Amino acid sequence: APEGDAQGDAGPGCPKGPGPELFTWEFATDPYPAYAWLREHAPVHRTKLPSGVEAWLVTRYADARQALADQRLSKNPAHHDEPAHAKGRTGIPGERKAELMTHLLNIDPPDHTRLRRLVSKAFTPRRVAEFAPRVQELTDRLIDDFAAKGSADLIHEFAFPLPIYAICDMLGVPREDQDDFRDWAGMMIRHGGGPRGGVARSVKKMRGYLAELIHRKREDPGDDLISGLIKASDHGEHLTENEAAAMAFILLFAGFETTVNLIGNGMYALLRHPDQRERLQASFAAGEPGLLETGVEELLRYDGPVELATWRFATEPLVIGGERIAAGDPVLVVLAAADRDPERFAEPDTLDLARRDNQHLGYGHGIHYCLGAPLARLEGQVALGTLLTRLPDLRLAVDPADLRWRGGLIMRGLRTLPVEFTPLV
Ligand code: HEM
């Protein structure tokens, strides 16, 4: 088992007495008890990650929100002060210079401000809203493909293909090429680590494809997001081809596994809470879509796709939650822990689809707040709403104890979600 280390001598950042083991199999299955312990006893906690890198975990809501907005915490891995860093062996994305890695999640202002402004001109809420009928069509088509069987693995047959087809469509990847993306993305999610072997090959193929697609769209623009990215200008500035490729890549990458997990974790939570699920289905029957909207936000808070926000590095010595962080130290904000903080949320371990006071951190906070949140909300609402409408007696086909969670650092999601239902004929 990967070594977890919440134990150790009392000292700065070390809890008094033994704490929970982190990054074990039990932890991957249910990290929330460990997070409750950390929030209470070691809210800003230095630990050794499975990769060997030491990092600070920030688990209280107030500290988390503040850290996400703190400009002294850089997203640029060049600020990481760690010997392994130079050798590129930390598993931190972007530490090894690669063309596609100069993207929003690895850069700071002023570059971040410029690139984000440009992409926001192309990736607008209006473009997303216009895309709603297509998301519905994709959702129905995927359900049609397994509906007659009476059983399915909702991850592989539904949650996984939906976001990849959706974002490919939005970017302007022709339909006949989208299955290649499905394969490349599958490779990336299966391995879920740094670019090694098959993952590296998939990234390379995707990069080559995107570069060529951008080139083609420059010659012959369409109504798609890539053409929009190429056209977008700000004070006469445009994205370079490299920047446009990195942007397309981050949209795919940031919008893919997250949405798989929103659908997977969300449906799993609903299946485990029959009262909430019945309440939701009753609201559809009554023609009240409101509960689906607050419900998807609550599912993000309760068991969101992004367990830890992406890497941040202290550019100068600073204090978070009373703990002194040295320049160069990596800081990981634990969104999943912050979103269950009883100091912020009433009955945080209760799933309440009608929760109103729900300013969760599932999409982050501050300048890196999720750019794709409108698309993620749309996909989550259409996917969960349509599944429960068309397959009203959907139920788990396995004992929850037999379900396996992917053991990644940043993301939290199920490997499979086998379900049964009355077949549609
Ligand atoms: C950033 C969550 C879906 C694109 C983020 C961040 C979070 C997040 C937590 C901030 C990370 C940090 O500060 O370290 C989610 C969740 C999603 C989702 C929970 C699904 C339920 C999407 C989709 C897209 C997308 C569908 C695009 C198609 C992005 C981009 C950023 C980002 C581009 C970087 C923004 C920046 O750095 O300025 N997301 N995301 N996300 N997300 Fe999402």
**Spatial distance between the Cα atoms of 35 and 55, rounded to a whole number of angstroms:** 16
Is pLDDT above 60 for 88?
Answer: no
Inform me whether the pLDDT recorded for 6 exceeds 90.
no
Closest-CA residue, ligand 1 atom 42, reads 370
Q: How far is CA 301 from CA 1, 274, 345, 359, 422, in A?
A: 28, 18, 10, 9, 31
Average pLDDT, integer, range 266-274: 98
Express each pLDDT in 392-403 by its tens digit.
Answer: 999 999 999 999
User: pLDDT tier at 10 (50, 70, 90 boundaries)?
Assistant: very low
- Partners of 48 in the beta sheet? 54
Q: Would the pTM count as exceeding 0.95?
A: no
Look at residue 386 in the predicted model and tell me its pLDDT: 98
More confident position, 259 or 240: 259
Alpha-carbon gap, residue 44 to 322, rounded angstroms: 8
Ligand 1 contact, 15 CB (< 6 A):
no
DSSP state of 315: S
Instruction: Tell me: pLDDT of 100 over 70.
Output: no
Pocket lining: 258 vs ligand 1, CB cutoff 6 Å: yes
Q: How far is the CA of 324 from the centre of ligand 1 (A)?
A: 28
Whether the per-residue pLDDT at 182 is higher than 80: the answer is yes
Residue type present at position 66: Q
Q: How confident is the model at residue 19 (pLDDT cuts 50, 70, 90)?
A: confident
Q: What is the predicted pLDDT for the residue at 8?
A: 35
Q: What is the DSSP string of 163-213?
A: HHHHHHHHHT--GGGHHHHHHHHHHHHHH-SSS-HHHHHHHHHHHHHHHHH
Residue nearest to atom 2 of ligand 1 (CA): 363
Q: Read off the tokens for 282.
A: 């009753």
The 10s digit of each residue's pLDDT in 337-387 is 999 999 999 999 999 999 999 999 999 999 999 999 999 999 999 999 999
Predicted interface score ipTM higher than 0.95: yes
Distance of alpha carbon 308 from alpha carbon 5, whole angstroms: 17
341, 39 Cβ separation under 8 angstroms = yes
Residue-level pLDDT at 1 = 31
Cis check: omega of the bond before 109, within 30 degrees of 0: no
Q: Say which residues have a Cβ less than 8 Å from residue 415's Cβ, sequence separation at least 6.
A: 155, 403, 404, 405, 406
Which atom from ligand 1 is nearest to the alpha carbon of 75?
A: 14
Tell me the C-alpha distance between 54 and 239, whole Å.
35
pLDDT, residue 97, reads: 52
Residue 135 Cβ contacting ligand 1 at under 6 Å: no
Which residues neighbour 353 within 8 Å (Cβ) at sequence distance 6 or greater?
276, 279, 280, 291, 294, 295, 298, 299
Ligand 1 touching residue 362 (CB < 6 A) = yes
In the CATH scheme, what architecture does the domain 25-420 have?
Orthogonal Bundle (1.10)
Per the model's pLDDT, the better-predicted residue between 188 and 151 turns out to be: 151
**Per-residue pLDDT tens for 30-41?**
999 999 999 999
Residue range 390-417: average pLDDT? Answer: 94
Least confident of 3-17, 21-35, 80-94, 396-410: 3-17
What would the mean pLDDT of 249-264 be, rounded to a whole number? 92
Rounded Cα distance, 260 and 255, in Å: 9
Q: Which of 118, 169, 258 should be mutated for ligand 1, with most atoms under 8 A from CB? A: 258
Q: At residue 101, does pLDDT exceed 80?
A: no
Q: What is the pLDDT of residues 51-86, one digit of tens each?
A: 889 999 999 999 999 999 999 999 998 888 764 554
Percent share of the chain, pLDDT over 90: 70
Buried b (16+ CB within 10 A) or exposed e, 155-181: bbbbbbbbbbbbbbbbbbbeeeebeeb
Query: What pLDDT was estimated at residue 244?
Result: 86
CB atoms within 10 A of CB 148: 9
User: Which ligand 1 atom is nearest residue 310's CA?
Assistant: 14
Centroid of ligand 1 to alpha carbon of 113 (angstroms): 16
With contact defined as beta carbons under 8 Å apart, do 38 and 45 qualify? yes
- Ligand 1 atom nearest to 170, measured from its CA: 28
Probe residue for ligand 1, chosen from 249, 360, 363 as the CB with the greatest number of ligand atoms within 8 Å: 363
Ligand 1 midpoint to CA 250 (Å): 9
Residue by residue, DSSP assigns 281-314 as HHHHHTT-THHHHHHHHHHHHHH-SBSSPPPEEE
Task: For residue 359, report the distance from its CA to the centre of ligand 1, in Å.
Answer: 16
Half-sphere exposure of 166 (CA within 13 A, CB side): 38
Domain chopping of the chain, boundaries:
25-420
CA of 351 to the centre of ligand 1 (A): 23
Residue 223: count of CB within 10 angstroms of its CB: 9
Please say if the pLDDT value at position 192 is more than 70: no
Strands 54-58 and 151-153: unpaired
In the reported structure, the alpha carbon of residue 263 is separated from the centroid of ligand 1 by a whole-number distance in angstroms of: 15
The tokens describing 380, both together, are 């989550």
> What pLDDT was estimated at residue 232?
85
